[in-house]
Structure 1
């Protein structure tokens, strides 16, 4: 969502400062407008750094880009020395969003071990791991983050629902959780250092998206962030400041706890994006994950290749610069039924639905929006605009809404070949709606967590990914969840198909094979047959350093369309903001 963002101007010049630098593998500080940035230099994939309360250790997620299920909590000394795992567990699962307890004894984190998203703790000294939550929290592991009470005796976390979220409080002593509040959206809660309130990102209001729950009165009040939409907030130790991330980028901002105009800390001069911000132990610096700068002139591209690996071609640029995964990674290209055209989302200042002719390469813009899907006749496109599902003819005449605006984003709509339904993701589950309009209906009675793959077998089945898996085959891939199918023309329970094989999975129309991308260029495009599990990996040497995302198999099953983006990577960064937050008179 676009909004104006007040910020300190970051000049083009970069100064290597003369202040003492951090030891070990941290870079020399880079000074920009009295903010000092240091980067932990490693070829490993590190995410979500946090400092121990005494400042002696940094915890982080060490990620194997070839296996999302191998995402583990590690710690290292403050100078980068003695890195070591906190949790050694060979079972495939995701760990995310570590949060250090204020007393320094435990780290809480999110995990989907066993196919259900929950909150766990690990003891720093003993390594004992304990599950805290007593239920599936209604979203994937990357949507759920815990927050500690100041006395280290409780954790608060969101339980996501279809229409209403609940903020739960879990005491470490093991009682049933208390429901602190409910609201339409409760995203990434953050407990205040004085223990009196919990901040979270929720429904947008006139001054932003942050809300504060009073734990005394249970009243929920909006917090003014001057219209900036923020996520993943973190309180400074003294409770005077709030750090958060905001798109585009995203980038890191700081805001006075009483509200006002945020001040931008990071920008595109050093990283293409910055996320998962945490305050350092002394409240004078911020730790965050930073995405490296894209190469000069880098673009994200729409490309196609035969399933044999032949006839690779780039059809269009979809962004002016690399690093567009936040936009195009959530919406897949769509083939026209005759395979003459591909509809795709391009992004410059906002998202636009465009169509490219495969043979001639001509590109035509259709409408503002994203999340395109061709009708079975090929003369209409359904797409997302303003949190509603719309449809438009290819001549752009009289677009009309299929749905009203829905809470949360509509992701990856798929139009069935029999013209009966459009299925899409919304608020962590799947919905179907008639292309002619009407009230969307949940695809599952229990409204379970799921991600779209697509229609197959003449629209008799819709295929999707669930965190739940069955069977023992390909157990090493269980971190990607399971591939399931649901009959849509008769009542029957979902059927388990196989373990999922990667990111952005799509299935051929005859359900004979799946195609998937990955988090690094070395993973290329994976093609795997469902009948016997045989697979091949297509490495696209024409575009080295690019990863394959948002897969779309052609109706004939002979070609695959996808986006190519510079490969996803993050480094641990520390931004010393003491000069910034001490300018109390000059800051808005």
Structure 2
């Protein structure tokens, strides 16, 4: 039963009945894209435009006074010295990656149709009208204008599902002929996470409009590729020159400087964090511009070359920052007010534990009337599964959120011992709607001596947000996880979160409610991934083997060797996702002989 009382500008809903959550039917994510190598997860999280409620993908206006960016599924603009953002698009697609035309009349951007396809659209800045630049079911991303405004270079998976560079002519806001600039090409084997087919992505155009710099893994076994320079013409790779070879993971996004002498780009250069670098356009030694134990990426020059707008995840979620190239001043672009182009209402949601009557942490699924997921500005927009449209976030027990007027659905969940609560309500423009969700416990396993746990959590691994131990504990509370096992592991040649290694469990960060530990996952690409629980002395090196083109290309040490090293420290060892592949029988036998445990990579119940 729902009781509602409406009075001027305010709505109160009290939910007293639990609904069964209704989930979308599973669909194939971007069905025409062929990634290969098992890397779909990394492509979705690192490369394709994110649907987050915080700002991403910024670019300057031609006069340098405005910044266009994506936020909450729309395109926005803000003055360089302002704190008020104005919404420019409002549709059923997740709009992102805006780039201003050189004359300032148009903004090209990407429109993601609920993880099925991504197309390019064009916004008339003066009228607010939008029109299609590309159509169909492929993925079209990374738009960038030529300096004369007659062409847009972009990346498309048309016609065969592989990422290729294209040039699209545009005249008076109308698309013309599209010319393919790169061709399909095979590597000599199936690259881990990236497949056998080369990709060509993230183009930027020289100031004279004749050349482009982009990222491609042509001839490279690891990562999304090196940085290349080539003429803007068909079969461009025939005349391409590699200007920087290093491992990249989709974040590079080079941009040519206005004076034509260098590029700015993002790189981790072997560390676990991405920073901004500048590099001569014909190659050379990179020079580092930013520093910090967080990520800096998506850089774009101001038209005069004096400033760089970029994205930082220092606060966890993303924020826009302006960096003075000569001088070093670095400041946040504050967004204190949002002016929407459509009627909006406000949700004030409270989640309670029905047994204690107190606010409680929970997982929240929320879909607004436009079919899109919305997240508070201080919450991590998580994607459990794009295939079932399971976008969610965690709440401490209360959140306030602006959503379009119309019907909104909300589901609150907390672990496996409480019934989910689901409701649908109509949001009125200009009104505040108060909602109370009561999570009722149907069993109490702790009272019976059983505790929930997850021993395969990667804190910073497959996304663009910055996670911390405190936030992991908060998320674990929302998931009702008592024993939190974070795995320190490699992603290619980076080792994430090694500084938090704690051995058995982290006495400083653990609480009376939950224990947190920082163990290790050994991730060779051939023999199956290995879990180490309760290492008592140190992390075990190497973190992986069998990476072609690196100093750890050998398949030694085997999993058997790693099991024995773990045993020397008194650790429990086992395969973390044993049914994804067939472990080497000898290694498995050794794991059993050393009285190790076969551990699942999902929430398990421990006694």
TM-score for both structures, normalised by structure 1: 0.47
Pick the structure with greater CA Rg.
2
TM-score for both structures, normalised by structure 2: 0.45
